Amino acid sequence: MRKRTIALGIAIAALAAGGGWYASLDKETRGILAAMPTNADVLMWSESQRDAAFRAMDRLPLLAQANEIAPSPHPLALPEGKPLTIPGIDDYLAKQREAGIVILQDGKVRFERYGLGFDAQGRWTSFSVAKSFTSTLVGAAIQDGAIRSLEDKVSQYIPDLRGSAYDDVSIRQLLTMSSGVRWNEDYEDPNSDVARFNTAKPDPGVDATVSYMRKLPRAHPPGEVWHYNTGETNLIGVLVSSAVKRPLAQYLQEKVWQPAGMEAKATWLKGETGHEIAGCCLQAATRDFARFGLFVLANGKAGDRQIVPTDWFAQATTKQKDIGHPGKGYGFQWWTYDDGSVAAQGIFGQGIFIDPKRKLVIASNADWTRASKGPEPAAREAFYKQIQARIDAGN
């Protein structure tokens, strides 16, 4: 759900010239760099280029800067459960071009598999799966008292938005993507907002996202129309950072990554003016994406700490807005299902599916043939239903 533009020319020049930076890289990273694309549009990369890039967005500092997120000193154990038999699984994984999949039930690993040369120790990029982490940090900031209310206006926390179409938009309306501000999220349109806001020159002294978003006109009254908008998730990230007075990655480490027992280091890519790209680009191990699902199932409680308000996930993972698809909706940066399940989703097959009724979490990373318009999304939805049915049947 998110196109990440990365400036590659300087890195390719460094590769061609050699020198100290390139010489300092390990052999695997050099190979990844050699396979990296020379243009900035992820939708134009070949499959092999994406295979290389998606596991290495944070390993090539000339491509993108990232803030690190340290793992927990006490990782949450994921014991082995009864192996889950899944008919047709090899064909499904191949057609999904799956890099990693972890299926947990009742906190135990029932299925785990890796592909595309990826493994359990690697970090794969999240794309818009990061949106659900960002919304969770809003809940943490409310719990901490740094954000007073979801009804507060966004411009109270981001003064540079005053006088713009966002002046009358609430935090709740940002979370539910119902600001009413005009936005084009067409990934295949080079003139869309989602394409242009990554490369637009920011106003002096203003965050890059804020600089672009404050120039957009209004299309609808706030709160009336749902419209998917990655730029607004980036605004949420700026808002949280401003409220808690520290970088988003640091706050994620303090409030989720370490308390929830994440086992491996993660990273979060930064935009041009230094804020983490809140709508995208969290790099983590597949098992830790799955652990986030367990954190949600635990209602945001880690040990004896309640990280978010006790009613947070009841709101966040419940349909707040109709999206025009029967059986589905949108919560606080979560895709909801009428059966009570919920999902975080990113382009090219990244996802965390959570089913509270079955205590089920399915974390998956992939490199689909297309960002979101190929055959893979429907096949994945069918796969979720297949796993639910297998569990209901006692398998």
pLDDT of residue 121: 96
Domain count of the fold of the chain: 3
Instruction: Check whether residue 299 and residue 375 sit in a common domain.
Output: yes
Which of 177-191, 252-266, 314-328 has the least mean pLDDT? Answer: 177-191
Tens digits of residue pLDDT in 327-368: 999 999 999 999 999 999 999 999 999 999 999 999 999 999
pLDDT of residue 59: 83
Among residues 244, 270, 285, which one ends one of the domains? 244
Helix/strand/coil for 235: helix
Instruction: Check whether residue 171 and residue 240 sit in a common domain.
Output: yes
CA-CA distance, 30 to 32, in Å (whole number)?
5
Beta-strand ranges (E) seen in the chain are 66-69, 98-105, 108-114, 124-125, 266-269, 282-284, 301-302, 305-306, 321-322, 328-330, 335-337, 342-346, 350-355, 360-366
Cα first-last separation, the chain: 33
Q: Domain range for residue 280? A: 67-129+261-392
Strand partners, 354: 342, 361
Residue 34 in any domain: the answer is yes
pLDDT of residue 103: 99
Instruction: Check whether residue 267 and residue 378 sit in a common domain.
Output: yes
CA-CA distance, 287 to 285, in Å (whole number)?
5
CA distances from 283 to 96, 233, 249 (A): 20, 17, 11
Torsion of the alpha carbons at 225, 227, 230 and 233, rounded to the nearest 10: 30
Instruction: Indicate the DSSP class of residue 42.
Output: G
Here the CATH number for the domain that contains residue 198 is: 1.20.58.710
Tens digits of residue pLDDT in 292-311: 999 999 999 999 999 999 99
Nearest to 335, CA basis, from 355, 360, 310: 355
Nearest to 293, CA basis, from 355, 358, 346, 348: 355
Question: Do the beta carbons of residue 55 and residue 32 sit within 8 Å?
Answer: yes
* Residue 232 identity (one-letter amino acid): E
Mean pLDDT of the chain: 91
Instruction: Check whether residue 169 and residue 123 sit in a common domain.
Output: no
201 vs 19, higher pLDDT: 201
Instruction: Check whether residue 125 and residue 202 sit in a common domain.
Output: no
CA-CA distance, 247 to 238, in Å (whole number)?
9
